[in-house]
Amino acid sequence: MKHICDWVLMALIGFSLLGKWANGSDFDDAEFHPNTTQMLSYLENFSNYSQSAAVYNPLYVGLTLIPGAAAKGAVCLDGTLPGYHLHRGFGAGANSWLVHLEGGGWCNSIRTCVYRKTTRRGSSHYFEKYLAFTGILSNRAEENPDFFNWNRVKVRYCDGASFTGDSEDRAHGLQFRGQKIWLAAMEELMSKGMRYANQALLSGCSAGGLASILHCDEFRGLFRRRTKVKCFADAGMFLDARDVSGGHTLRNMYQGVVSLQGSGKNLPRTCTNHLDPTSCFFPQNIVSNLRTPMFLLNAAYDSWQIIASLAPPSADHRGAWKACQKNPAKCTPSQINFLQGFRNQMLNSIKRFSMSKQNGLFINSCFAHCQSERQDTWFADNSPLIGNKAIALAVGDWFFDRSGVKQIDCPYPCDKTCHNLVFRS
């Protein structure tokens, strides 16, 4: 009953943003509009908003700016210092590190990047000074059974290209330095003791989940060979899929991100040696070639992709998808059939990835986006399950090699444990 109340609260906050898209206001075909980024940030960070209700007295961790970053050219879109939040490990976890990359959409044009630098997604001037550490970042064993006593870090996201860009636009005061921010943050954490880690996990949510895929092998390269290193991506499987009009909304947007921010030279060479840079921003072209063990957590019916890349106003001119986007129970049979096709495309895109024993999967048939930062979906009495296993236990079993984890849910609507995002007018 408690989580139902939270969904209604979230719906009241988010409906106005969804309504702006559904009505097509201020939306440009050629650009990823700020409202879209706002909704992605909202979906990713509902956990931060609602944790005070969902978790009694959660841990809040203070912000640290990276003092030497500017000298290395590692700055946010507006030139301010990047930062992170670190809570030290203790006991048996004192030499273990979890590095979580924040999400928050992308900017693919001068206009959207200029807007972005006036927000916490583009300037540390707007960073929250404290963030709630819940879900995979919690310091309580009953909320985070395998990682609660590790050194846990959240790296803030202020570049708009999943920590990959390296260029600038001086005329508009824009610094696209995501790759340098990544390097400066890792150097800072290594100096804080991460270099001595016995085990380490790189994780991230949404745009941060994509970043954890793109930087996974780089992360492995930071450590000694005997250090156990793995990567975990939550809601990072953004698909190169056709939208409801047959177009390529997300591919067009990614092409803008990669070209504007100069990301191509920093994408995995195992991909760019045979595909164009835009294709190599899509994780389906990366994950099968990773050398480092990777766990993919994703909702088969990713809420953000349904709203912003599969059925955006630019592809749904008549608003036929408005009701379905707000509530999956309102989807027509033909819309459900379209979404089942999207699920099938996701499963096909990870077939080769799933054949490797070192990799893990948890693909649940939910309408959700980001399930590792939220306590109710990560590990709670009523958490989503596949085969009676919660997400936190699946990830822990995989990381510690307690068992192989390749959990793929049955198609919607069979899973009654989902915490589906429902927007109410």
Enumerate the active-site residues: 206, 302, 369
- Alpha carbons within 13 angstroms on the beta-carbon side of residue 424 total 10
Question: Phi and psi dihedrals of 250, rounded to 5?
Answer: -75, -40
How far, rounded to the nearest angstrom, does the alpha carbon of residue 333 sit from its chain's CA centroid? 29
Contact 110, 172 (CB under 8 A): yes
Q: Which residues contact 224 (CB under 8 A, 6 or more apart)?
A: none
Whole-angstrom distance, CA of residue 129 vs CA of residue 141: 25
Q: Which residues contact 51 (CB under 8 A, 6 or more apart)?
A: 58, 132, 134, 374, 375
Contact 403, 397 (CB under 8 A): yes
Handedness of CA 302, 413, 404, 97 (dihedral sign): positive
